[in-house]
């Protein structure tokens, strides 16, 4: 069992997000390659290939959205609640390069889709909502909810942009995974900017429509930038600085204690309690004294794993 906060892998980069302007500034473009991040989550959270695909897609969307200046560089939390066997899928990302996520039922497997792919849509379900929470520091957090279109994630994110941001956005997200192994994880997001003319929009849509599988396409390129340069060959992309993301969890011993005390209400604990963070799997163990507030934080001998 993992001990407290020893290692959440904070320094290991697992994904790189590139962003820029496409076709003379008529479109904003984001692209991500996240093979290592998704492989890391698969190991850390014992994800089935199906769960890794659903979570990988959602984490990639969260990373790109966290860097979307239209969303004012906010922490973005995405929650898929589609009623499928995977249960809730949650991902959040911060513009400084932290990302985390979890799947409620990480071991679920399903037969492949008609196209022979991991059937993310059936795993997530489409009887429910995509919730988007944006936390811009110093301001009220904002949230919106849209009904799920397909549970495939990419279409649902595009649907969110159309309904809530009134922005035409094409989204492609793909994860190719086998048991214990992630072969490829990547995606992109292209947004129409004001002033873009119809024929140009159609030309971009055409390129996107003709892309084969997103994960296969990204796998065939060494990074997301070169994949986008192939996809939009001849249209011109002006790149900004890339942002590296790694798995990082904001949980802490004190936060875990507060939540546990809250969840117990008036009940007086008689024995030690353990809570486990959904995101990173860290376990926090508390004595009854700590939970009744009889002992100052950090003063009880809990286990050898604490190293503050
Ligand atoms: Zn955690």
| CB-based contact 11:98 (threshold 8 Å) | no
Tell me the CA–centroid distance for residue 98 and ligand 1, in Å.
12
Calculate how far, in angstroms, residue 83's C-alpha sits from the geometric centre of ligand 1. 25
Q: How far is the CA of 170 from the centre of ligand 1 (A)?
A: 32
Q: What is the pLDDT of residues 34-61, one digit of tens each?
A: 999 999 999 989 999 999 999 999 999 9
What distance in Å separates the CA atoms of residue 156 and residue 40, rounded to the nearest whole number? 25
Domain boundaries, the chain: 15-247, 251-308
Looking at residue 68, its pLDDT comes to 87
Distance 199 CA to ligand 1 centre (A): 47
Report the share of the chain in percent with pLDDT over 70: 88
Pairing of strands 181-192, 169-178: antiparallel
pLDDT at 4 over 60: no
pLDDT of res. 11: 52
Q: Which tens digits make up the pLDDT trace of 15-26?
A: 999 999 999 999
Q: Which residues are registered as beta bridge partners of 182? A: 177
Please name every residue paired with 143 in a beta bridge, in sequence order, or none if there are none: 133
Q: What's the 88 CA to ligand 1 centre distance in angstroms? A: 17
Q: Which residue stretches of the chain are H helix?
A: 35-45, 49-66, 120-124, 154-164, 198-209, 214-219, 224-231, 253-264, 288-292
User: End-to-end CA distance of the chain, in Å?
Assistant: 19
Give distance in angstroms: CA of 255 to centre of ligand 1: 10
pLDDT of amino acid 298: 44
pLDDT band at 70 (very low <50, low <70, confident <90, very high): low
12 C-alpha vs ligand 1 centroid, how far in Å?
16
Cα(33) to ligand 1 centroid in Å equals: 23
Q: Is 129 left (phi over 0), alpha (psi -120 to 50) or beta?
A: beta
CA of residue 268 to ligand 1 center, whole Å = 25
- Residue 29 Cα to ligand 1 midpoint, Å, equals 31
262 confidence band (pLDDT: 50, 70, 90): confident
pLDDT tens-digit map of 173-186: 999 999 999 999 99
Which is higher by pLDDT, 138 or 269?
A: 269
Centre of ligand 1 to C-alpha 281, Å, is 6
255 or 55: which leads in pLDDT? 55
Q: How far is the CA of 280 from the centre of ligand 1 (A)?
A: 4
Whether the predicted pLDDT of 190 surpasses 90: yes
| Predicted pLDDT at 72 | 66
* Residue of 173, 142, 147, 169 whose CA lies nearest to 60: 173
Q: Which residue has the higher pLDDT, 95 or 264?
A: 95
Q: State the distance from the centre of ligand 1 to the C-alpha of 101, rounded, in angstroms.
A: 10
Query: How many Å lie between the centroid of ligand 1 and the Cα of residue 143?
Result: 22
pLDDT beyond 90 at 12: no
Lowest-confidence pick of 27-31, 110-114, 231-235, 262-266: 262-266
* CA dist., res. 160 & res. 61, Å (int): 12
The yes-or-no verdict on residue 171 having pLDDT over 70 is: yes
> For all residues of the chain together, what is the average pLDDT?
88
pLDDT score, position 74: 81
Distance in Å, CA 256 to ligand 1 centroid? 9
Provide mean pLDDT across the span 123-146: 87
Residue 243 has pLDDT above 70, yes or no: yes
Q: Which CATH class is domain 15-247?
A: alpha beta
From ligand 1's centre to the CA of 235, what distance in Å? 42
Q: How far is the CA of 8 from the centre of ligand 1 (A)?
A: 8
Task: Quote the ligand 1 centre to 99 CA distance (angstroms).
Answer: 11
CA of 237 to the centre of ligand 1 (A): 37
Distance 150 CA to ligand 1 centre (A): 30
Residue 225 has pLDDT above 90, yes or no: yes
- Cα(277) to centroid of ligand 1, in Å? 5
Question: Given this model, what pLDDT does residue 302 score?
Answer: 37
pTM comes to 0.87
Q: How far is the CA of 112 from the centre of ligand 1 (A)?
A: 31
CATH fold for domain 251-308: CBS domain Like (3.90.1280)
């Amino acid at each position: 069992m993992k001990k407290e906060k020893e290692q959440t892998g904070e320094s290991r980069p697992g994904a790189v997000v590139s962003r820029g302007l496409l076709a003379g500034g008529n479109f904003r473009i984001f692209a991500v390659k996240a093979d290592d991040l998704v492989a890391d989550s698969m190991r850390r959270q014992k994800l089935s290939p199906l769960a890794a695909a659903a979570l990988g897609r959602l984490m990639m969307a969260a990373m790109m959205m966290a860097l979307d200046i239209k969303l004012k560089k906010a922490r973005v939390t995405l929650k898929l609640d589609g009623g499928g066997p995977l249960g809730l899928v949650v991902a959040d990302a911060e513009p400084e390069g932290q990302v985390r996520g979890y799947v409620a039922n990480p071991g679920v497997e399903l037969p492949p889709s008609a196209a022979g792919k991991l059937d993310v849509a059936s795993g997530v379900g489409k009887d429910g909502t995509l919730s988007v929470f944006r936390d811009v520091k110093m301001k009220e957090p904002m949230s919106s909810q849209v009904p799920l279109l397909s549970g495939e994630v990419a279409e649902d994110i595009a649907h969110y942009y159309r309904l809530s941001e009134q922005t035409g956005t094409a989204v492609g997200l793909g994860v190719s995974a086998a048991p214990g192994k992630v072969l490829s994880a990547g995606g992109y997001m292209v947004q129409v900017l004001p002033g873009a003319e119809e024929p140009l929009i159609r030309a971009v849509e055409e390129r996107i429509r003709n892309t084969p599988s997103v994960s296969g396409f990204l796998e065939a390129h060494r990074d997301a930038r070169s994949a986008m340069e192939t996809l939009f060959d001849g249209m011109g992309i002006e790149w900004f600085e890339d942002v590296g993301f790694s798995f990082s969890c904001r949980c802490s011993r004190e936060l875990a204690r507060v939540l546990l005390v809250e969840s117990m209400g008036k009940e007086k604990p008689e024995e030690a309690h353990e809570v486990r963070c959904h995101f990173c799997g860290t376990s926090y163990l508390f004595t009854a004294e700590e939970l009744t507030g009889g002992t100052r934080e950090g003063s009880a001998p809990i286990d050898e794993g604490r190293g503050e």
